[in-house]
Amino acid sequence: MTDLHWWSATDLAAAIRGREVSASEALEHFVSRIEALDGPINAIVHWDIERARESARSADAAVARGDDLGPLHGVPMTIKDSFQTEGCITTSGSPDLAEHVPTHDAWPVARLREAGAIPFAKTNLPIFAGDIQSFNDVYGTTNNPHDVDHTPGGSSGGSAAALAMGFSPIELGSDIGGSIRVPAHYSGVMGHKPSYGIVPAHGQIPGMPGTLTQADLAVCGPMARSVDDLEVELDILVGPDRWNQPGWRLELPAPRALDFSDLRIAAWLDDAYCPVDTSTRRVLGDVVGAIESAGGRVDSEARPGFTLEKADLVFKRLLFAALSGEYSYSEIEELAAIDDLSPIGVARRAAAMRHREWLAHNERRLQIRERWREFFESYDVMLMPVQPRGAIPHDHSQPQWGRTVEIDGTQRPYLDLFGWTGPAGAGFLPATVIPAGLGDDGLPIGVQIVGPYLHDRTTMQVARLISKICGGCPRPAIAG
C-alpha cells in the first residue's frame, strides 16, 4: 500500500469497507507524506490531527460492527481554508481571522462529514479567496508542484496542490471567477464548477462569519484526481440551502449520452478577443483530434448567440460587484467617481456600480443564459480553454488589477486571465476541468467542458471520456 496516496477516494473507501486498510492507517499515511514533502509546496497550512485520529478510530469501529457506512466512510481529506470547520482555525487567509475557531461546520463540510469523510487539515488560498494566486500574510505562498516558481492557481490553489502531490484524495473548492477551474488547470488535477444554486455554501468566508448571504455567481464544488470522485462528491454536496430545505428537491438529469459517437460536441478554442497561447492552442487541438479518432464529431465553428467579448464584459462587471464587500461605503463613493478606463479603473468602478446599473447587467446576463439554452438544444457540451495560458509565475505586486501577464511573448492585462471563465460563470452553467496535456514549458494545460444548466452529469461524462484518451492527471516529479 505504498502508493495509497494515489488511490481515488472511491477506491480508498471501498478498501476501508473491505478491511484491506483501516481509516487510521490511511490517515497516518497522508500525514507522514505531507510532513515529508510539503515543505517546498506549502499547501497544508493548519492541522486538525487529534480530532481526525479520533474520527478514524470511530470509523474503524463502525466497520468492525458492520454499521451502514457512507460513500466516503473513513476517507481522510483536506479542506480549503475558506470553509469553516468546527473547532479548527479557519482564516480565509486574513490576519483578522488568524485565531478564528468556528463553532459550526460550513454546510459543505458538514455534508462531507455525514458521508464519512475525515477532514484532517486545511489548505492555503489568497486572502478572502480573492485572487488566482494563493498567498496571504497568515500562511505565506503556495507553490505549483510542477514548477515551484509558478502559482498553483487560486483561490483553491492549496486544494489543487494538495491533490497534485497526493496529500489528499479529494478536496472542496469554491469558484466565483474560476477558483476551482483555474487551479485544476494550473496544477494538473480535476475540478467541477456546479450549476449555480445546487450546492449550498453557507459558512464559507467571505462573507465574514455569521453571514447568511450567498454571493452572486459563487459556487462550491468538488476537486479530485478522477471524474468518478468528482461525481461522488457532487452527489454528497448537492441539496437545498437553509431557506429552501423544507420543500426543495433536486434530481440531476442523467448524461445526455455515454459515448463519443452519440455526443454533439462543439469547441470554442480560441478567439481574437482573448487569444490563447501556442501551447494551449496545440494541446486543445490535440484533444479535438483524439476525440475524432475515438469516433466522436466536433464542430469547431459553432457558437452561442453572443461574443466572447460580450460575455466577458458582463461577467466581469457582475463579478466585481459581487466582490464589492471589501470596500467601505465611503470608499465605494470614491470609486464611483473614478474616470479611468484602465483595468484597475474598470474593476473599481464596477465594484461601485449603482443598483440600477447592476440590474441592467443582470438582464444582459439573463440574455446570455438564454442564448446558451438555445445553443444547447443543438449541442451537448462546449469545449473551451480555461485560460489563455498555463500556470503563471508568482506575481504578488499590488494592486492586483494593475498586474500584467506574458502570453506568447506579449504583456497583457491580468484581467485577460479571466476571459474564458466568464461565459460559463455568467450563464450559471456547469463546467468540468480536466488535464488535457502539457504545454511547451512542461506545465499542465486543462480543458473546460461546459454544459447546459443542471446537466452536470453530462459535462462529467464527457470529462470521463476525454480523460481516458488524454491520460488523466500528470504526477509532478517532486511528488515522487
Last residue of a domain, one of 184, 203, 237: 237
Domain boundary residue among 206, 222, 237? 237
pLDDT digits (tens, 9 = 90+) for 47-71: 999 999 999 999 999 999 999 999 9
pLDDT higher than 80, residue 255: yes
Cβ 204 vs Cβ 83: under 8 Å: yes
pLDDT in tens, 158-212: 999 999 999 999 999 999 999 999 999 999 999 999 999 999 999 999 989 998 8
Based on the domain organization, do 285 and 199 belong to the same domain?
Answer: no
pLDDT at 408: 96
**What positions carry a catalytic annotation?**
80, 155, 179
Q: Please state whether beta strands 140-141 and 135-136 pair in parallel, antiparallel, or not at all (unpaired).
A: antiparallel
Residues 314 and 177 in one domain: no
- Is the pTM higher than 0.85? The answer reads yes
Asked if residue 252 is part of any domain, the answer here is no
More confidently predicted of 332 and 371 = 371
pLDDT band for position 109 (cuts 50, 70, 90): very high
13 and 159 in a single domain? The answer is yes
Whether the CB-CB separation of 104 and 86 falls below 8 Å is answered with yes
Domain match, 201 and 329 both: no
Is 190 contained in some domain? yes
Please state, for a pLDDT cut of 70, what percent of the chain lies above it: 98
Q: What are the residues whose beta carbons fall under 8 Å from the beta carbon of 369, sequence distance 6 or more?
A: 426, 427, 428, 453
pLDDT-derived band at 154, boundaries 50, 70, 90: very high
Task: Please indicate, yes or no, whether residues 372 and 460 belong to a single structural domain of this protein.
Answer: yes
**Residue 245 is assigned to a structural domain of this protein:** no
204 and 306 in one domain?
no
35 part of a folded domain: yes
Q: Are residues 200 and 278 in the same domain?
A: no
Q: How buried is 266 (Cβ within 10 angstroms: 0-12 exposed, 13-18 middle, 19+ buried)?
A: buried
Whether 255 is in a domain gets the answer no
Does residue 440 sit in the same domain as residue 402?
Answer: yes
For residue 289, tell me if it sits in a domain.
yes
**In this predicted structure, what is the pLDDT of residue 387?**
98
3-state SS track over the chain:
CCCHHHCCHHHHHHHHHCCCCCHHHHHHHHHHHHHHHCCCCCCEEEECHHHHHHHHHHHHHHHHHCCCCCCCCCCEEEEECCECECCECCCCCCHHHCCCCCCCCCHHHHHHHHCCCEEEEEECCCHHHCCCCCEECCCEECCECCECCECCCCCCHHHHHHHHHCCCCEEEEEECCCCCHHHHHHHCCEEEECCCCCCCCCCECCCCCCCCCCCCCCEEEEEECCHHHHHHHHHHHCCCCCCCCCCCCCCCCCCCCCCHHHCCEEECCCCCCCCCCHHHHHHHHHHHHHHHHCCCCEECCCCCCCCHHHHHHHHHHHHHHHCHHHCCHHHHHHHHCCCCCCHHHHHHHHHCCCHHHHHHHHHHHHHHHHHHHHHCCCCCEEEEECCCCCCCECCCCCCHHHCEEEECCEEEEHHHHHCCCHHHHHCCCCEEEEEEEECCCCCEEEEEEECCCCCHHHHHHHHHHHHHHHCCCCCCHHHC
The answer on pLDDT for 410 being more than 70 is yes
* Count of domains for the chain: 2
Domain range for 312 is 260-479
Give the model's confidence band at 329: pLDDT under 50 very low, under 70 low, under 90 confident, else very high.
low
pLDDT range class, residue 323, cuts 50, 70, 90: confident
Assigned C-alpha cell, 328? 467601505
CB 72, CB 9: distance < 8 Å: yes
Q: How confident is the model at residue 339 (pLDDT cuts 50, 70, 90)?
A: confident
Q: Which of 173, 202, 237 is the last residue of a domain?
A: 237
Is 398 within a domain? yes
Residue 359 has which C-alpha cell? Answer: 440590474
Name the CA dihedral angle for 396, 402, 407, 411, rounded to a multiple of 10 degrees.
-120
Q: How confident is the model at residue 324 (pLDDT cuts 50, 70, 90)?
A: confident
* Whether residues 232 and 302 fall in one domain: no
Residue 394 domain flag: yes
Whichever domain contains 304, its CATH number is 3.90.1300.10
Q: What is the pLDDT of residues 20-54, one digit of tens each?
A: 999 999 999 999 999 999 999 999 999 999 999 99
Tell whether 66 and 173 lie within a shared domain.
Answer: yes
Q: Are residues 371 and 459 in the same domain?
A: yes
User: Looking at residue 327, what is its pLDDT?
Assistant: 65
| Predicted local distance difference test score (pLDDT) of residue 434 | 98
Mean pLDDT of all residues in 356-381: 97
Mean of pLDDT over the chain: 96
- Summarize the confidence of residues 7-21 as an average pLDDT: 98
Task: Please state, in angstroms and rounded to a whole number, the distance separating the CA atoms of residues 215 and 238.
Answer: 17
Shared domain check, 200 and 297: no
The Cα 217–Cα 390 span in angstroms is 24
